Each structure stands twice: as C-alpha cells, then as structure tokens.
Amino acid sequence: MSITPQMGQQFPSTSPYQQQGGSGSLEQLQQLGQQQPYQQLLQQMGGQQQGLGQQQQQNQQEQQIQQLTQSVVQQVQTQSLAAGVADAFIDIVQPLPGQPQQIFLRIDGQFRSLTTPSPQLHQQIQQAFAFGHQVVGVWDGQSPNVLRSVRIQRF
C-alpha cells in the first residue's frame, strides 16, 4: 500500500486556518482570542497600554509644572522691590466691623499699608517709634501702596 498522494487526491488539513477555506480565518482568530491563555495575554498587553497612558499623563503633568514654575520665576524676577525708612505711622487697632487690622507707615511722603499684622508687630512698631529706632518698609514696585514686610533696626 502506498501512502503517497495520487494526482488530484487531497488530504484533509490539520491547520485550523485552512479548514474552512481561508474565508473563516478571521473568525477563527477571534475564537482563539476568547480562549483563556490568549485572554490573559491580551489583558496584560492592555495593562501595559494603560501604563503607557498613565506615563504620558505623568509626563504632561511634569511639563505643566515646569512651565508654571518657569512663569512664576519670571514674574518674581521682573518684580522690583523697594524699601524706605518710615517717619510716621498710623496704627488701626480696632478697625470697623468687617475690616482687617492695618498699620500705615509714611515712607517718602506716601502712606503704605500692612494688612493684618500680628499683635507683636503692632507693639514692636510702637516701641520702635517711641525709642527712635528705624522702621523699614519693603514693597513691590507693582503695588507700591502695600507693604510686603517690615524690619525694625535698633541701634
């Protein structure tokens, strides 16, 4: 007995892709994808893609933070600070209802305000003027009427 094929004789194929004549290969791939080992592989690949998405989001957030930091640094660099010695002050100890406590220092003939100073600062400014110490006010060039800080120099 001979097992060799004769002319025109076909043997059945064992490949799942050729059993239905080639047109069903997409369906068979989809069926294979539903099997458990392939499902796990697809989930892992999907998880990796999600991880890449999270990494891209993190990179975008880092870029936004860098841009924000750069803009803040540029704003600080463009601000010009000025300082001067106060020759008088007005201390509003009990403001009107709804208004904050304020101290006004007259520097270079202009009153500049310090809003919501601490009780200790009230006392230190009063003592500085009483004992002849210098009270130095610092303000930003963009808002010259608002004091950023106060320094008391004792001799």
Q: Give the model confidence (pLDDT) of 41-75 as tens digits.
A: 666 666 555 555 677 777 787 787 777 777 766 66
Closest C-alpha among 110, 109, 111, 108 to residue 90? 111
The whole-number pLDDT of residue 21 equals 46
The whole-number pLDDT of residue 55 equals 74
The whole-number pLDDT of residue 18 equals 47
Q: Are 151 and 138 in contact (CB under 8 A)?
A: yes
The whole-number pLDDT of residue 75 equals 65
Q: What is the DSSP string of 93-127?
A: SSPPTTPPPEEEEEETTEEEEEES--HHHHHHHHH
The whole-number pLDDT of residue 155 equals 75
**Mean pLDDT over the full length of the chain:** 76
How far, in Å, are 50, 52, 71, 77 from residue 64 at the CA level? 21, 18, 11, 20
Whether this prediction's pTM lies above 0.85 is answered by no
- Segments of the chain scoring below 70 in pLDDT: 1-53, 72-79
Distance between CA atoms of residues 132 and 154, nearest Å:
8
Distance between CA atoms of residues 123 and 152, nearest Å:
12
